[in-house]
Each structure stands twice: as structure tokens, then as C-alpha cells.
Homo-oligomer: A and B are copies of this chain.
Amino acid sequence: MALSHTILTFLSECAHSGYDLGKRFEDAVSCFWKASHQQIYRELSKMEGLGWVEAEAIAQQGKPDKKLYRITESGRKELESWFELPCIPTPIREDLLVKVLAGSYLSRSVLIQQLTDRRSLHQAQLDCYREKEHAFLKVDNPEEHLVFRYLTLRRGIRYEVEWIDWCNEVLAAIS
């Protein structure tokens, strides 16, 4: 049920359309939460059914109509009680680890390819996060909101660094 709570968190700040939410997932929380437009739209209708959000149809000129969603009192309560619930860590499922575990059955060159490909992927992501980090660190006396967002970004940065380091460790071990 945590996708809905992530959405509720965004709606706590201000009203969003499903489309807006999709973009926020893309550029604000992609380092720890992935959600497709389809998933978001479906979740929003479910949440409307539960009474956690309210929709208002907005006609726009030059653009299609949109539905603006607002958090309700009941949604706010739901979110607050969720905050206090213990978090269950996400189960991990990583294909690449399976390939390393099966290392004896793979040709060395394929394994190296898999690892170097993966490393560049994480390097690219890291570069992107580093830029965001740099932008934040230039701000004097940042708002609390921004600080919390920065702390989640730090998690993303650590995640990427850790992947790169591990790829390097494995590459060193097998050559």
C-alpha cells in the first residue's frame, strides 16, 4: 500500500494531477521509488474510492482536461498513522547477482561484460545525482523540505557508489 502513501505525501504539499505526479516520481524520487503513469492513475482512482483523495476536473485551453487531486482529511489521517507503522524493508531481487553466483557456468568474457555494463549504468546515474547534490549544496539556509529531499538523494548516491565499488571488487577478483 506504500505507493498510495507516497502519492499522499506529494499531495500533502499541494494538489497534483496524475500526470504531475508521474513527473514528480520521475525527477524527485526516482532514486528510491519507481512508478509508471498507469500505476499512478490506477492508484488514484482506488484512493478516490477509499476517500483519501478528491478529484476536480479542470478544463484547460490548448491542453487536454486534467483531474486535480487533493488530499482529504481522511487521507491525512491515513498518512499520519502510516508514518508510525514499522517499515518492512523491500525484498531484494537482482538478476546480476544470480549471474555472479552462477559465475562458474558463464564464460569469463560475458561475466565481465555484464559487470562493466552495469557499472557504467550506475556511473551515469551517479553523475546525475552528483549534479543535483551540487545544486543543493550551493543553497544557503535551505528549507527543511529541501534538506529531507537531499537526504534521500544521499541514499541514492550511496547506492550507486556502492554498486560501482562492488562491480570493481568482483572484476578485480575474477581477473
Nearest CB in chain B: distance from A126 CB, A: 13
Q: Is A34 on the interface with B (CB-CB < 8 A)?
A: yes
Q: Is A137 on the interface with B (CB-CB < 8 A)?
A: no
Does B118 lie within 8 Å of A148, measured CB to CB? no
Residue of B nearest to A114 (CB): B87
Does A33 lie within 8 Å of B98, measured CB to CB? yes
Q: Which residues of B sit under 8 angstroms from A32, Cβ to Cβ?
A: 92-94, 97-98
- Stoichiometry, as copies per complex, reads 2
Nearest CB in chain B: distance from A52 CB, A: 15
Alpha-carbon separation in the docked complex, A118 to B87 (Å): 8
Alpha-carbon separation in the docked complex, A31 to B93 (Å): 9
Nearest CB in chain B: distance from A55 CB, A: 22
Does B99 lie within 8 Å of A155, measured CB to CB? no
Q: Is A86 on the interface with B (CB-CB < 8 A)?
A: yes
Q: Is A130 on the interface with B (CB-CB < 8 A)?
A: no
Nearest CB in chain B: distance from A80 CB, A: 8
Does B94 lie within 8 Å of A89, measured CB to CB? yes
Q: Which residues of B sit under 8 angstroms from A149, Cβ to Cβ?
A: 101
Assuming the A-B contacts A87-B118, A100-B152, A151-B173, are A95 and B2 also in contact, with contact meaning beta carbons closer than 8 angstroms in the complex? yes
Residues of A with Cβ closer than 8 Å to B?
2-3, 5-6, 9, 12, 29, 31-34, 79-80, 83-84, 86-106, 110, 114, 117-118, 121, 144-145, 147-149, 151-152, 154-155, 158-159, 162, 165-166, 169-170, 173
